[in-house]
Amino acid sequence: MSLQWLLLLCLICSTLLLVDVTHSGAQDARKAYIVYMGDKPKNEVPLSHLHLNMLQDVVDSSNIDDIEHEALLLHSYKRSFNGFAAMLTEQEAQKMAGMDGVVSVFPSKQIE
């Protein structure tokens, strides 16, 4: 009898855990976005540091440490134009689009 209750309890707990993980995963779904900032600045500012700082300002730091911020920065474009690619949620992309110096933010599309 007690084994049946234990199995039932395990089943209920695993179901609740799965529902919680699925809910938080859908809420925090990250996609690759391109953040376009226009022409390269005339001064020799290290753009990758600027891009990382902007990313840190937008991403919720309570869930992510500095190392993970760097992992979210996919690429810094610094030769032809100023911009970067990053893994963002839709809300973070909207917040990034409202920042000073940002011309546009759009989802990255894979070309086949």
pLDDT (tens digit per residue) in 3-13: 676 655 655 65
Write down the CATH superfamily of domain 28-107.
Peptidase S8 propeptide/proteinase inhibitor I9 (3.30.70.80)
Mean pLDDT, all residues of the chain: 79
Section 22-47 average pLDDT: 76
Taking the C-alpha atoms of residue 87 and residue 83, their distance in angstroms, rounded to an integer, is 14
Domain-by-domain residue ranges, the chain?
Answer: 28-107
Taking the C-alpha atoms of residue 27 and residue 112, their distance in angstroms, rounded to an integer, is 28
CB distance 75 to 32 below 8 Å: no
pTM: 0.68
**Percentage of the chain with pLDDT > 90?**
38
Question: Which of 12 and 85 is assigned the larger pLDDT?
Answer: 85
